[in-house]
Chains A and B, each alone.
Chain A
């Protein structure tokens, strides 16, 4: 990953933001600590200065000016006094002892860099300062100064510690950010590659999942289920468009044959018969196209604007009444089974009529030795469930979902006239009404249960 890519990476940007906020807060905290430690060290330094001064004042009181001169002289000569500056003046202002003759009299406490005192500059390899003051002693004046070297060293080591801490925090957080970003990026790259492959027609490709169940995994899961639906949809569209073409091919083929025969005399059919048959084929084609257009219009859902309150029980009874004699003529019994519970729903009565007619006609056509078609209305948690059942051949379980798709017909019933659009129209109408369609075994026969939603 290049730096430019890194800066666009969400995880990295988050990590970088977090690191800078965190280190900002840390720096503020460190500055406060450093400032307080500095105050403490300064007080400590002043205490040492006072201690040294007090010790020398004790000598002056006890041994007099001369005794003090002896102590200052021996102190100044000692090697370790490179950490202390002293200068003793007599009443006339002449230097009588000490190691810092160049430091003039001043008021109060001063910090004097070692480099500015020629006598001391060469005596140590480090750069420190002296905190010094002039005091009055009996018989003269005395300069006392102590090196801040220890305090300076402590200050430096605190600063170094804090600095190192910040740098290591920044480093660790930065590295973690890059690592996290890389990990997220490799996932997202995998998403991108998969989607690219899918868009190039490899519909079986899926986004990899880590199994950690994190947010990226959740996105991957949703992406995969969307891809599943998409590929099923595309498969269905492919299947149904080829099925529609197939379905149209045969009546158009027959139509062509019939019209070809028209000009030849000597045909066993009169031209009137041929034209009649040709018109019937055209009606067949028109019917298929009409059904396909109807299904797509219903699926588009525009009819929902025209929903009105309907009593399903009334509607089912009405359709049953129309079809009872029709079924009877076909040698079947159509039974509207009580109890027909109240089934108030919102819907389109014309489409619902077509739904029940299609189911009844489907049951009649595929009754396969059955004798009875039963219409009933159940309840499921207060929602009405309309049931159309027959005692015919039924549909094998593995075929049940497929028959709801356009033009899907069972191989066994291939010879039965009528395109396989009836049930898919039923499925489209049920879906428009938010009804769940369940094909089940009526043992023997097929039961179609439609779980509607009651009118609220």
Chain B
């Protein structure tokens, strides 16, 4: 993927670019907000990572500017700690996701992968699949090997988030945000408990395990072992 990073803190910028390059991505890094607008408009990036606080032009204004210039590249905001309002403001400005500094690189990578442009999904995709597991979004049913599996609403949502990111890691924090709308870090094993309940229903009765634990990061649904 071709990724643009707009971040004035050189240490953070090089930490992110090095990490992404190690993952095989091409990375351009820019320090100034105004240069960021120019660069983002000139090239077609797969993902743009933007710091909220930038010299020249702040991150929100940058994203508003490139959105009104017709740039559709997905944007991941880097926000400061404790910013209870940053997420909403970022999404309203046209961002796709946000991550609070300081963060683990694996978290950033998972979020970059999750928002990255991929071969456009057909708008009317109503069946999500992983191996022999099928989720029908219209009928709200889940089948594995033609067995109908009964899931509660939140379990359905949890499985849906995993399936929409099939083959990619979904972190614990991403699950908390997307499944339960928890924008804070609970002290208890909420995610682990619900994943284990879901596994009991969709994995345990079958010989092939679909939900994989990615140590220290999160979970991935995949038919590859």
Given contacts A321-B154, A350-B181, A350-B183, contact A326 B85 (CB under 8 A): no
Are A303 and B154 in contact, CB atoms less than 8 angstroms apart?
Answer: no
| Residue A167 is within 8 A (CB to CB) of chain B in the complex | no
| Residue B149 is within 8 A (CB to CB) of chain A in the complex | no
Are A357 and B181 in contact, CB atoms less than 8 angstroms apart?
Answer: no
Alpha-carbon separation in the docked complex, A321 to B84 (Å): 25
Alpha-carbon separation in the docked complex, A21 to B108 (Å): 81
Alpha-carbon separation in the docked complex, A2 to B166 (Å): 88
| Residue A436 is within 8 A (CB to CB) of chain B in the complex | no
Q: What residues on A are CB-neighbors of B183 within 8 Å?
A: 350, 354
CB distance from B93 to the nearest CB of A (A): 15
Q: Which of B85, B100, B187 has the most CB of A within 10 A?
A: B187
Are B81 and A289 in contact, CB atoms less than 8 angstroms apart?
Answer: yes
A sample of 6 cross-chain residue pairs with beta-carbon separation below 8 angstroms, ordered by A number, consists of: A286-B102, A289-B81, A325-B197, A350-B182, A351-B84, A357-B184
Q: What residues on B are CB-neighbors of A350 within 8 Å?
A: 181-183
| Residue B68 is within 8 A (CB to CB) of chain A in the complex | no
Are A322 and B85 in contact, CB atoms less than 8 angstroms apart?
Answer: no
Q: What residues on B are CB-neighbors of A79 within 8 Å?
A: none
Are B188 and A330 in contact, CB atoms less than 8 angstroms apart?
Answer: yes
Binary contact track B81-122/A, C-beta < 8 Å → 1, others 0? 111110010000000000010101000000000000000000
Given contacts A289-B82, A306-B88, A325-B197, contact A354 B182 (CB under 8 A): yes
Partner among A293, A321, A354, A357 whose Cβ is within 8 Å of the Cβ of B81? A293
Considering the complex, give the chain A residue whose CB is closest to the CB of B81. A290
Are B187 and A322 in contact, CB atoms less than 8 angstroms apart?
Answer: no
Alpha-carbon separation in the docked complex, A420 to B185 (Å): 15
Q: What residues on B are CB-neighbors of A306 within 8 Å?
A: 85, 88
Interface of A is mostly: helix
CB distance from A326 to the nearest CB of B (A): 5
Alpha-carbon separation in the docked complex, A320 to B182 (Å): 13
Q: Which residues of A contact B (CB under 8 A)?
A: 276, 279, 282, 286-287, 289-294, 296-298, 302-303, 306, 321-323, 325-326, 329-330, 349-351, 353-354, 357, 361, 364-365, 418, 422
Q: What residues on B are CB-neighbors of A302 within 8 Å?
A: 85
Alpha-carbon separation in the docked complex, A365 to B152 (Å): 27
Q: What residues on A are CB-neighbors of B186 within 8 Å?
A: 357, 361
Q: Which of B82, B152, B180, B181 has the most CB of A within 10 A?
A: B82
Partner among B83, B104, B182, B197 whose Cβ is within 8 Å of the Cβ of A357? B182
Top 7 A-B residue pairs of the complex, sorted by shortest distance between their CB atoms: A293-B82, A326-B193, A354-B184, A294-B82, A325-B193, A290-B81, A297-B84
Alpha-carbon separation in the docked complex, A293 to B80 (Å): 10
Are A322 and B180 in contact, CB atoms less than 8 angstroms apart?
Answer: yes
Partner among B81, B104, B181 whose Cβ is within 8 Å of the Cβ of A349? B181
Q: What residues on A are CB-neighbors of B185 within 8 Å?
A: 287
Binary contact track B186-209/A, C-beta < 8 Å → 1, others 0? 111110011001000000000000
CB distance from B159 to the nearest CB of A (A): 15
CB distance from B162 to the nearest CB of A (A): 17
Alpha-carbon separation in the docked complex, A349 to B84 (Å): 13
Binary contact track B126-170/A, C-beta < 8 Å → 1, others 0? 000000000000000000000000001010000000000000000
Alpha-carbon separation in the docked complex, A350 to B83 (Å): 13
Are B82 and A292 in contact, CB atoms less than 8 angstroms apart?
Answer: yes
Considering the complex, give the chain B residue whose CB is closest to the CB of A417. B187
Are A326 and B190 in contact, CB atoms less than 8 angstroms apart?
Answer: yes
Considering the complex, give the chain B residue whose CB is closest to the CB of A286. B102
Are B188 and A298 in contact, CB atoms less than 8 angstroms apart?
Answer: no
Alpha-carbon separation in the docked complex, A294 to B81 (Å): 8
Q: What residues on A are CB-neighbors of B187 within 8 Å?
A: 361, 365, 418, 422
Are A303 and B85 in contact, CB atoms less than 8 angstroms apart?
Answer: yes
CB distance from A258 to the nearest CB of B (A): 17
Are B190 and A322 in contact, CB atoms less than 8 angstroms apart?
Answer: yes
CB distance from B200 to the nearest CB of A (A): 11
Considering the complex, give the chain A residue whose CB is closest to the CB of B190. A326
Q: What residues on A are CB-neighbors of B189 within 8 Å?
A: 326, 329
Alpha-carbon separation in the docked complex, A365 to B81 (Å): 26
Q: What residues on A are CB-neighbors of B181 within 8 Å?
A: 349-350, 353
Are A286 and B188 in contact, CB atoms less than 8 angstroms apart?
Answer: no
CB distance from A394 to the nearest CB of B (A): 20
Partner among B83, B152, B188 whose Cβ is within 8 Å of the Cβ of A326? B188
Q: What residues on B are CB-neighbors of A291 within 8 Å?
A: 82
Considering the complex, give the chain A residue whose CB is closest to the CB of B182. A353
Considering the complex, give the chain A residue whose CB is closest to the CB of B186. A357
CB distance from A62 to the nearest CB of B (A): 121
Given contacts A325-B197, A350-B181, A353-B182, contact A294 B84 (CB under 8 A): yes
Alpha-carbon separation in the docked complex, A146 to B159 (Å): 129
Considering the complex, give the chain A residue whose CB is closest to the CB of B88. A306
CB distance from A323 to the nearest CB of B (A): 7
Alpha-carbon separation in the docked complex, A24 to B81 (Å): 72
Q: What residues on A are CB-neighbors of B190 within 8 Å?
A: 322-323, 326
Are B188 and A364 in contact, CB atoms less than 8 angstroms apart?
Answer: yes
CB distance from B165 to the nearest CB of A (A): 21
Alpha-carbon separation in the docked complex, A79 to B42 (Å): 131
Q: Which of A294, A302, A350 has the most CB of B within 10 A?
A: A350
Considering the complex, give the chain B residue whose CB is closest to the CB of A357. B186
Alpha-carbon separation in the docked complex, A422 to B185 (Å): 11
Alpha-carbon separation in the docked complex, A323 to B180 (Å): 11
Are B84 and A322 in contact, CB atoms less than 8 angstroms apart?
Answer: no
Q: Considering the complex, which residues of chain B in the window 53-96 have a beta carbon less than 8 Å from any beta carbon of chain A?
A: 81-85, 88
